[in-house]
Chains A and B, each alone.
Chain A
Amino acid sequence: MKETLVQVNTEWLRTTYFSDPARRIRLQAGEILLYENQHNERLFFVIEGTLHGYLGYETGEPFEAFRSGQNHFLGVYSYFSRTHKSYSTVIAQTDCELAYIDGDQADTIEEDGMGFAEHFLPVVVEEIYMRQLLTQRMTIQNQKTTRKLFHAEKMATLGQLAAGLAHELNNAVGVITRQGQQLAAWAEDIVRNDDDSGALYLFQKGLQQGSSLSTVDQRRRRRDLEDRFDLPAAVARQAAAAGLDDADLAALGKDPAEKLARFFPYFEAGLAFHDLNAAAVHASQVVRSVKELGVANHSLRIATDVAETIRQAAMLLKDPLKGIALDMQLTPGMTLEANPGELVQVWVNLIKNACEALHGQGRRNPAIAVGAVREGDTARIAISDNGPGIPPDLLPHIFQPDVTTKVEGLSFGLGLGLSILQKIVDNLRGKVEVSSRPGATVFTVKLPLNYEL
């Protein structure tokens, strides 16, 4: 607690004014020197020990006003202000020894020609300065706390909201999935009881395979069918959509066009059920990720190898990583207490973002670098890409869950991806940082290795 800026010649003041052995007090730890508003005409000098000043000590909710130690002055306010009232309750924290002066010494003139007041001016100024500093510090602390509280509350609200939403949606999606499957099975039975096997075949094809061909392949196949089988355009389109191969067409007999026109609705019905189910599955996946945002999953925490989770993530992303040079420099043996699944999710999220930033940019030599190094007791993982970068105006907001962040090739899944990520890293007492310029976007995750729950 020695941050004085004011030059006080403590030693000189002590020998000059506080050397009277009669004016000494000894306090034991816990003893009270002064009560708030107590009459006090003394100016104390702490020779040894620490004392704390409290406001509102009597109310039972004391608020610490200052701390005082060796070579500090006490009672400056009550002594010099001439109100002679202590503004705080001063309690000895340790055994203390104090010297004091009392009475009016204003007339005392020393050999340097300066009066008492002049000698103590620096002490008074320092007192004022210290109080100001205290106020400032308290205000800043206050603001920080408020902000933290605010953020925590926001996350908690969002979490509750997400959990509630997830619950409701899960119920609804569950019904859709279940009844959809029921309906499909029921429809399949009806089609099966129909005599024509072609109808069942096409229905099942739609139900099981969905649109098996990509639109490009469908178009190619359609033209092929038009040319080779002399099918009318509409029929060829249907056959291509149903993904029928030559053998299937041959099985349709002499007039495939007529048969197909009759059976195609069955394929469409099957396809509708297939798509219904696919959409329901997709919806439940989305619900799950929303839920993860809200409810941090602490259930499973084990010693986890950071490098291993990164490798797992890269494996999951084999497909999007096609055509991209991936450079991994992973320091082995960095372990921390974490849910490995969550950690994988963090890397998946970051690497996927990088992939998507690179895809479709037509950039030559797209590359992603993943580096994991130990820095003291912290693991520092950096994932960088040479994509187009994140627009500067968006950069400060990308971790906010309420900001949609899909701009120019940057996809954050639901717009929640990065906020989920931050939540996970937060729970591990870690940090995520991002820097971005065209050609170099770096996400840096720092995780304390020795953090324990």
Chain B
Amino acid sequence: MKPRKKLLAFIKPGIATLIPLLIFMAPAEVSGIPGISPVEQRVLALFALAALFWILEPIPIFATSVLIIVLSLMMISDAGLRFLRQDETGQPYSNLLDYREIMATFASPVILLFLGGFFLAMAAVKFRLDQSLAAVLLRPFGQKPKWLLLGIMIITAGFSMFMSNTATTAMMLTVLAPVLPFFEPGDRGRAAFALGVPFAANIGGVGTPIGTPPNAIALQYLSGEHAIGFGQWMSFGVPFVIILLLGAWALLLALFPVRTPSIMLTFKTRFLRTPKAYIVYGTFVLTVLLWLTDFWHGMNAYVVSMIPVAVFLSAGIIGKEDLKGMSWDVLWLVAGGIALGLALEKSGLAERLVALIPFSDWSAWTVLIVSAFAGLVMANFMSNTGTANLLLPIIAAMGASGLLLDSVGGTAGLILGVTLSVSLGMALPISTPPNALAHATGEINTRDMARAGISVGLIGLVIALVLIEILNLVGFF
């Protein structure tokens, strides 16, 4: 390797490391934040590091998360480096974090909620429930491209509420891939189908708390008086999905009219009828029912999510090797976000920062629109979860700072608005893994994806804002 190339290779990690290091080393006065404590300054450095690493991705994003947790433990916890725990006079800092709390982010309730979701999804895939169910559900939509597209999008969205958006997209594209080449030559409708799947998967993720990782991070901040149950989430999530899905469907048909008169999808799978398969079907239905009826039986969504874990492990449906294949990276990515939020909140930095920004002059709606829009833009260029990891702690702090947010449903309204918008970033192949998979089919160019993706994102943003208003009006918050 040549020196010049070596240099290039180090620019990204260099910048991403140097800036946080400067913040860490600089004297407190330089920051321009009055009264900032040394611990807060370190949190600021950590935050900068997280932001730069999640945006520039010099290392995988889940590695950044773990890095944040480890650095937090070393630098701002009560079990960290000795000289970082006390000031010059030997007095211990008051705003150090409990190391157990930081470590617990690896197993926080939302993480385990997600783990439960993973178990359901993995069992479903293993017993081909996804494919056989898709086959059955798609049948009523016939062979007319227009309705078939709607069917595919509804099913994709529905599945992605419980499975990962990426896996759902992969599954549906597998079904679709053999058909796309048989479209009439030059039929733009191909793009409609190839885009319909990732869009529906991205949108569908909003439907349930376990649909997509940003939802989990939102749940983390919606605690105490703002706590939202699984069913409650779905009560606004599902309508949002349905409305946006119809909008996206209409938009795709308008942008890429389908000329091919009829499309025939073939499925080779059938429902498995083995005892284990029945356990999977039963557990799936039971878990969803329990999630929806938490008000009745008293077990919250987190507790319910552990049921499929226990059942599948006991029944041998998920084995040792399957466990190794779990998406631990997603869980740790979320855990890092939670840890970052924890550091911001517990050190008092979040509050201090929010106080600095002149939000007080802004109306609550301006705050919501600006932050939701920021979330949408950021999510287009970086991971949705990374965006949520960075934005939601600050948004939560705004709520806590005593801003007058009643007109947008208070803190909960703000958090939900941003969370929904973060899931709407789907303009580029790099925006989400489903987009990347769809782009790789070669049926859509980046321009078409951007055109459709930006439109769907903006439509979604408007619907989200309207939704918050309606929820506020009906007194949901």
Contacts and interface: CB of A to CB of B under 8 A. Distances in A.
Interface string B1-16: 0101100000000000
A375 interface: no
Contacts of A227: 2
Interface string A175-206: 00000000000000000000000000000000
Nearest to B3: A230
Contacts of B2: 226-227, 230
Contacts of B4: 230
A218 to B, nearest CB: 19
The secondary structure that dominates the B interface is helix
A165 B2 CA distance: 55
A207 B186 CA distance: 41
Interface in A217-247: 226-227, 230, 232
Interface residues of B, number: 3
A398 B5 CA distance: 56
A298 B415 CA distance: 97
A227 B4 CA distance: 11
A230 B2 CA distance: 7
Nearest to A232: B5
B7 to A, nearest CB: 12
Interface in B281-303: none
Interface string B291-332: 000000000000000000000000000000000000000000
Contacts of B5: 232
A346 B94 CA distance: 96
A332 to B, nearest CB: 64
A271 B2 CA distance: 30
Nearest to B1: A226
A31 B5 CA distance: 110
Nearest to A226: B2
Nearest to A227: B2
B366 to A, nearest CB: 49
Nearest to A229: B2
A232 B5 CA distance: 9
Nearest to B2: A230
Contacts of A230: 2, 4
Contacts of A232: 5
B219 to A, nearest CB: 47
A257 to B, nearest CB: 12
A33 to B, nearest CB: 89
Interface in A333-347: none
A412 to B, nearest CB: 45
A402 to B, nearest CB: 42
A230 B5 CA distance: 9
A239 to B, nearest CB: 15
A233 to B, nearest CB: 8
Nearest to A231: B2
A230 B6 CA distance: 12
A228 B4 CA distance: 13
A232 B4 CA distance: 10
A226 B5 CA distance: 11
Nearest to B4: A230
Interface of B: 2, 4-5
Q: Which 5 A-B pairs have the closest CB atoms?
A: A230-B2, A226-B2, A230-B4, A227-B2, A232-B5
5 contacts: A226-B2, A227-B2, A230-B2, A230-B4, A232-B5
